[in-house]
Structure 1
């Protein structure tokens, strides 16, 4: 079993914050804004980002060594989601959460 180090805890926190941001922003801001905010490619990416962030946190919390693989994929999806959010109004906080999570997950995957 992998011990939860301070670095891992910071990654867990970033993942859970990104999960909350993507899911909350998607279900609130995006659905209410409509238009490009709910374009299938963008909205699916946000939901995928939320789920991989939740899953990454779960893997780290369970102590499996496989968290590194999940964190690597999480970082990739978060980076893509941040770019997508940057193209839309009112998505700055979500994009920032995605970038922060990507940075933490890349460090965890190393």
Structure 2
């Protein structure tokens, strides 16, 4: 395996944690709660967030320089997702993990 900095390893872990949280929160909490939680804009954002997190982790694990691009986009989507989850309320775990991932990805994109 290629050499990975501790910062990058941490970012991979943040991305995978965010992927897991967004996907399980959407498929569990949001689907069960319904209403605003299943509105297309919110639900699609959660799916997009989960997927870009997974992709960013994947790119860093591959060891391609392209991770800078996915991480930049990941940070943006995570921030948007955190904001939207906060707006809906009762999704603090998702808000927290998205913000943490966004910060980590911003460092990797720099």
TM-score norm. by structure 1 comes to 0.97
2:2 and 2:69 mapped to 1: Cα distance? Answer: 14
Match of 1:55 in 2: 55
Task: Please give the per-residue CA displacement for 1:10-56, whole angstroms capped at 9, x wherever unaligned.
Answer: 00000000000000000000000000000100000000000000000
Answer whether contact 1:12 1:60 (CA < 8 A) is retained: yes
Residues 59-98 of structure 1: matches in 2 within 5 Å?
Answer: 59-98=59-98
Answer whether contact 1:16 1:53 (CA < 8 A) is retained: yes
1:28 and 1:98 mapped to 2: Cα distance? Answer: 17
Report how far residue 87 of structure 1 moved.
1.1
Task: Please give the per-residue CA displacement for 1:58-107, whole angstroms capped at 9, x wherever unaligned.
Answer: 00000001101110000000000000000123210001100000000000
Cα RMSD between the aligned structures?
1.1
Q: How many residues in Structure 1 have an aligned counterpart in Structure 2? A: 110
Q: Which runs of 5+ in 1 are unaligned?
A: none
2:50 and 2:98 mapped to 1: Cα distance? Answer: 9
TM-score norm. by structure 2 comes to 0.97
Match of 1:11 in 2: 11
Moved over 3 A (4+): none
Match of 1:35 in 2: 35
Answer whether contact 1:2 1:64 (CA < 8 A) is retained: no
| SS in structure 2 at match of 1:87 | helix
